[in-house]
Amino acid sequence: MIRYTLKCDRDHSFESWFHSAESFDKLRAAGMISCTHCGSTVVDKALMTPSVQPARATGNAPGQADEAGHPLSAPQNEAEAALATMRRYIEENSDYVGADFATEARAMHEGNAPERAIHGEARLDEARALLEDGIPVAPLPFKPSRKIN
């Protein structure tokens, strides 16, 4: 696995992991890498500095806190806090249907399944077909918790 710092054409910076440099190139060429801030698919590798672990153990385990001592899992700004609140609300008030999202949404729309709030994953072509058929769906600005390492 390789971690790249990426930058979109709107000057947003973010990081992502890839299986290999070749994987990054293929995904970028297919337009499958998008900015986590604005969704732009015009993304390139940014200049990176190597990540070197200290030879001796320090008082804190790596990755637990930033330089100011704040937990890395805590929201760093208002936008991250709002997204965390939205995520909690959606996960607590809807059913996760995974890759069956398009099938479930269509069944509810056609009256073949009881209506309820759902969230899950759909391929781009599936989401487009739902919208073209008048089925209201919207992308979420985060990946489901079950997909996060």
Q: What is the pLDDT of residues 81-128, one digit of tens each?
A: 888 899 899 999 999 999 999 999 999 999 999 999 999 999 999 999
pLDDT for position 131: 94
Same structural domain, 82 and 41: no
Q: For residue 50, give Cα distances in angstroms to 12, 47, 90, 130.
A: 20, 10, 37, 44
How many whole angstroms separate alpha carbon 103 and alpha carbon 81? 32
pLDDT for position 68: 63
Q: Is residue 73 part of a domain?
A: no
pLDDT one-digit tens code per residue, 17-73: 898 889 999 999 998 999 888 889 999 998 766 666 666 555 545 556 666 666 667
Q: Is residue 89 part of a domain?
A: yes
Q: What is the pTM of this model?
A: 0.50
Q: Is residue 100 part of a domain?
A: yes
Helices of type H across the chain: 21-29, 78-93, 101-109, 124-132
How high does pLDDT run on average in the chain? 84
Q: Is-contact 40 10, C-beta < 8 A?
A: yes
Q: Is-contact 75 84, C-beta < 8 A?
A: yes
Q: Is residue 68 part of a domain?
A: no
Is residue 149 pLDDT above 50, yes or no?
no
* Domain limits for position 108: 78-144
Q: Is residue 6 part of a domain?
A: yes
How many whole angstroms separate alpha carbon 131 and alpha carbon 128? 5
Q: Is residue 149 part of a domain?
A: no
How many distinct structural domains can be found in the chain?
2
Q: Is-contact 13 48, C-beta < 8 A?
A: no
Q: Is residue 140 part of a domain?
A: yes
Q: Is residue 123 part of a domain?
A: yes
